[in-house]
Every structure is written in structure tokens, then in C-alpha cells.
Structure 1
Amino acid sequence: MHERLRSDGPLSVEAYMEACNAYYYATRDPLGAGGDFTTAPEISQMFGELVGAALADVWRRAGSPANVRYVELGPGRGTLASDALRVMRSIGLTPPVHLVEASPTLREAQAALLGAVTHHEAIGDLPGDAPLLVVANEFLDALPIRQHVAGVERHVEWIGSGLAFDRDGEVLETSPARDEAVAALAEGLVAIGGAALVIDYGHERSAAGDTLQAVREHRFAPVLDNPGEHDLTSHVDFQRAAEVAREAGAFVAGPAEQGAWLERLGIQARARALANAAPHRAGEIEAARARLCRPDQMGSLFKVLAIHSPEWPSPAGL
């Protein structure tokens, strides 16, 4: 990246973020204690189980179509899919699995855990001949954003001995890549039926502000340090995501705060059942439930947005 900036000149924030994340995700498994961050499915099986229950429920209320497919966008190691599909199988739903994943490292992990899966490079590559049950957990936050200050697009440039932004001030963020992904998802659901759960951290209403952040070894890091070696993300604008989905003809429910949504789906009862089955793990299970649900942890910052075709009902809890 340093060499590119020296030779090509300043890069937009969008181009910088895209290049950094392309290298980052292609060269490592970033998840877990030995990685840079931990997602909700890695915290507890309860998360994936409740996602699976919500999708199975909406499938039943849609008339239980026999040819439905399970789709996950950015599925990490496949942990969420494994937990969700286990719940689906318990009610007789065994959909083929389609994963949108570009990382060779993570594709290998997903196939090892889940078995027969079909991988795709992009949402537009998904099959268009059967309804979809879609999950996108912490997928949109990693898509590149544009930043503008006083109407001028912000860039990263080489100054002196390091990288710096070319301008400062109140930042307005947009994300054409995010809009494109939501539009493609919504258009697909409208055309063939189905429902999607989009779960991510961000704000319910559009607002100005610089939300670009870098994480390494479970700590925040300067976003311009060691490009390609940090996970770069930004907060999702859920109001904008809902607008894009509606413009594509889809129906939208939410967003709801993750904690409240999980509580409505019954995470308390599931935690009790797990603790009763393994009393020696009761403290660990309760700590995981609290981390997923408490407002001062993941419960309020993370939101859940449902996007579904007009013919399908809204997923539960929203």
C-alpha cells in the first residue's frame, strides 16, 4: 500500500478500504481468540440457533416451499450456518447451502465444517430459481465507504514519513458498495421469494460522523497504520439500507436492537435449557447471553433488519 500511494498518489478512502480488506481477508482467518475479532456466532451457539429458528418459522408461515435455499453472506468459519442449519433440520428443513465468500482461507474452513456447500463470489451470482433464506451477519460493515468533508471526497495520501488524510472536519459517509449489495439482495428476494436477516453494528438513523475503524488483536488500532493488517469496518446506516431495499420493491421490518430481538425470540429460555443440561457451564452461558444482549455490550449497537419479498411474511421478533 505504501508503494501504491507513492507511485499512484492519493487514494480515496473507499479505494484504501477496499484494497486493505481485500488483502486482509485473503491472507488469514481473522476470527476467534487467536485472530483480531469475535463475532456473535463465535460467542455462543444460541445466536445461530435463534437465527435458524427465525428463518425456519418464516419459512413455515410462507407455506413451507420445498425448494428453498439457505444463503449466508460473509459466513466466517461457518459457525452461524452450522448452528442455524441444525435447528432447521430438527423441523425437517434441509436446504442446500450457498455461501457468498471471497476468502480462500475461510472457504476451506466453511467446507470442512459444513460439508457440501456452493460458494459464490457475489450476491448477483446466487441462483435465481428458488426462494432464499438469507443471513448477513457483520457483512455490510466491511464493505468500503466514501467519506466527504464539506462536499469534497476525502483521500489518504503519503505525507512525510507516513499516511494521513488529506482533509479534516465533519465527515459524511456513504457507501455505494453497500447500496449495491442491499439492492441486489432485495431484487433477488422480490424476484424469487424469501427473506433475509441483516445483522450488523450501526445507527438506526442516517447521521454525519466518522465511523471508520480498525481492529487488531481485539483492540482498536489507528486506521492508517499497517494497511492490510487490520480489519477495517464502519457503522452501517440502517435507514439507508431500508430505503434501498424498499426502492427495489422489497418489504422491510425493523431495525430492532439485537438484544431486544434475541430476547423476543427466547434467548433466556434457551440459555436456561443449556445451563440445565450442563450446570458446570452455567456461568459461561449466562456471560455469553449478557454479551449478546446487554445494551452496554452488543445488545444496542448491533441492529437487526429484515428484508423480504412482498409475498413472504416478516420474520419474527421485529
Structure 2
Amino acid sequence: MARAASAYYAAREPFGATGDFVTAPELTQAFGECLGLWAAVTWEIMGRPDPVLLVELGPGRGTLMADALRAAGDMAPAFRAALRVHLIETSPRLRDVQAARLGAGTATWHDGIATLPSGAAIIIGNEFLDALPIRQFIRRGAAWMERFVEAGAYVESPATDHPLLPAAAEGDIQEVNEPARGIAAALGVRLASQGGAALFIDYGPAESGFGDSLQAMSAHGVADPLGPPGQADVTAHVDFAAIAAAARAAGATAQGPLPQGLFLGRLGLSSRAAILARLDPRSATRHLAAAQRLTAPEHMGRLFKALCLCHPGLPTLPGFEDA
């Protein structure tokens, strides 16, 4: 799965109508603007540290960050002046795209979170965790087997080092995303000791459970996840409960998860889309349809979730009221 993702993002242009899928920032500028202002309010709650790192994990074409920075510059100039942009991106091709979108000197790039400079940070990961490689365990009789891929097909081998898994019925599949848990634990340590918050928006269930969620997308349709590596976007549902538990064990607190539609509604995304529709009548339908797609339960509003990991001293952050 990791090799497939590396090959895919190194060579293909996945985003947009001519690509394989569309992410929330590409649907409407209101998404990135709302997250930028969420970061600005969070910075105020943190006590306005200066400087503060604004970090994005897997920034795609840089669309979310560009919209967030523009909104911060317009509405929260003090935050815009204090922030330092850092991007976690391993694809050289996408780094070039992001640099062109954001402008020279705007950001610093990293292969992972380990090389981020120290200090208070606000971290955003939109559809980042779902692309990290999972392990799959399948129940066979009284034992757990681990699934592997060989020559484009599944094979099974006795699981000798699997984590503690709950009791299950014959054929049940349990997925474990060790890289995602590792990132959550590392961020938990960082946030607890240096301050800040990490907002993740992705798709998956609020609670851990059984099921095979491995999937692939190509040309906006379903593809074979075991097809030739690099030809499709291969992802799996995010186990938000496991992410939250890893961060808590490392000293941070977790707010959420809660449905994306509820979170974005509290941030005022639909109101912002309505303003954009009035300002740009020719694109009004597109702005309003995008807001509906992001917030409606029958579209992305329920399947996608928002989860915030943060310093234990922070109060409830915007959007997570009653979460």
C-alpha cells in the first residue's frame, strides 16, 4: 500500500475533474478559508504564541493552505504575521506544485513530522491518514491470520505479532494502521510538551470495528486496489478511536470525532458559500452545491469526521462544542 501510494503521487495528477478524485479544498475555497480562521481562533485561545507553526500534512496542490492564508491575512492579520508555514510532503512533483501555488519563500517542506522545528504548532491533515498503509487481520477458526499481497492476490499467514484484538467471528477482518497511530502518538508528545492542536478531517467510523475498508479510486470511479501500483489512489477508512487513544496515551487530549457536516456547519461554511454565491453569481450554483456536498449527511457530511488532538490545557476548540 505504501509503495502504491508513493508511485501514484510521484507520477499522476489525482485532483480535480480530470483526475481521479476531488477533495474538499478543490470543491470550494470556503473549506480552506474556514479552516484558516479556525486556526486563527485556536491561536488566540492558545495565547497568541509568536511565532507559531502552521503545518499541513499531505497538502495536495496547496489549495487548502493558499485559501487558509488568504483568509488569515484578510481577517486575522496578527495571526498571519506570527505563523510560519511548514508542509509535510514526500512527492517532489507535488512540492513544485505547492510552491507555485503559495509563492516563493512561503513554506518550508519536510518528509515527516520529526524534522519540524520546535514550538507551538497548529497542524491540519485533510484526507491524510486514509492514505497511510494498514495491516489486515482475518479470523480463521480460533486464530488470527494476517493478510498480505503477493503477485496481485491476497495470501494469509499466521499472525505472530499482531496487536491485541477483540474476539471475533469467523471471517471477520480487523484493520490496524500503525503509521497513523505512530503519528498520533508523536503529535501527542509534541502537543503536550510544546503546545498546540492538530485537526484531522478524514473518512471512517467514529468507533473501532470490523470490516475490510481497503479501496481504490481512478477516474472518479471504483478501481481494483490490487491493480498495478501507481495507477489508482489506494486508501482505507480511518480508525478515529485508535488515533484518539494513541494521542491520549502520549499526553494529549482529543476532541471529537464528530461528523464533518456538523463541524463545518459550526464554522459557518454554508454561510461563507452563500456569500461567495452572491459575490460571484455566475458560479453561485457551484458554491452552493459544494457546501451541500461537504455538509449533507447523504454526501460527505456524515462519513467524514473531524478529530482534534491538543494540549491538555486547552478548552473546547471551535466546532467541537458538545463533541
Cα deviation, residue 29, structure 1: 2.6
Tell me the residue number matched to 1:298.
Answer: 300
Structure having greater relative contact order (Cα 8 Å, sep ≥ 6) = 1
Q: Structure 1 stretch 211-220 or stretch 31-40: which is displaced more?
A: 31-40
Among candidates 198, 209, 218, match of residue 207 of structure 1: 209
**Deviation by residue 1:148-173 (Cα, 9 ceiling, x = unmatched):** 11211101123xxxx22125932110
* Other-structure match for 1:39: 23
Shift of 1:58: 1.1
Equivalent residue for 1:238, pick from 223, 240, 248:
240
Structure 1 vs Structure 2: percent identity of aligned residues?
Answer: 47
Aligned twin of 2:258? 256
Tell me the residue number matched to 1:13: none
Q: Return the alpha-carbon distance in structure 2 between the equivalents of residues 211 and 55 of structure 1.
A: 31
Give the AA of the match of 1:198: F
Matched, 1:68 2:70: no
TM-score if structure 2 supplies the norm length? 0.89
List per-residue Cα deviations over 1:61-93 (Å, max 9, x = no partner): 222112111100000010000111112222112
1:97 to 85, 90, 96: 85
Tell me how far 1:139 sits from its aligned partner: 0.5
Pair 1:137-2:126 in alignment: yes
Alignment length, in residue pairs? Answer: 297
Instruction: Indicate the residue corresponding to 1:146 in structure 2.
Output: 135
Maintained 8 Å contact 1:256/1:303 = yes
Equivalent AA in structure 1 for residue 90 of structure 2: A
* Kept in 2: contact 1:306–1:314 (CA 8 A): no
Q: CA deviation at 1:212?
A: 0.2
Query: Could you tell me whether the CA contact under 8 Å between 2:21 and 2:218 is conserved in 1?
Result: yes
Q: Does 1:281 align with 2:283?
A: yes
- Given the alignment, which residue of 94, 115, 122 partners 1:125? 115
1:53 to 37, 44, 52: 37
TM-score, scaled relative to structure 1: 0.90
Counterpart of 1:123, as a letter, is I
Which residue type is aligned with residue 155 of structure 1? Answer: F
Shift of 1:279: 2.1
Q: Give unpaired runs (5+ residues) of structure 2.
A: 157-169
Consecutive unaligned residues in structure 1, runs of 5 or more: 1-16
Report the Cα distance in structure 2 between the residues aligned to 1:164 and 1:311, rounded to whole angstroms.
48
SS at match of 1:166: strand
- In the alignment, is the contact (CA less than 8 A) between 1:31 and 1:38 conserved in 2? yes
Q: What SS is found at the alignment partner of 1:273?
A: helix
Question: How much has 1:33 moved relative to structure 2?
Answer: 1.5
Q: What is the rounded CA distance, in whole Å, between the counterparts of 1:21 and 1:280 in structure 2?
A: 37
Aligned with residue 150 of structure 2, among 137, 157, 168: 157
2:193 aligned to which of 191, 194, 201 = 191
Note if contact 1:195-1:315 (Cα within 8 Å) is conserved in structure 2.
no
Q: CA deviation at 1:259?
A: 0.6
Q: How far off is 1:186 after superposition?
A: 1.8
In the TM superposition, what is the alpha-carbon distance from 1:245 to its structure 2 partner?
Answer: 0.8
Contact 1:29 1:105 in 2 (8 A): no
RMSD, aligned α-carbons:
1.3
Counterpart of 2:64, as a letter, is: L
Q: Is the 8 A contact 1:62 1:313 kept in 2?
A: no
The one-letter code of the counterpart of 1:190 is: A
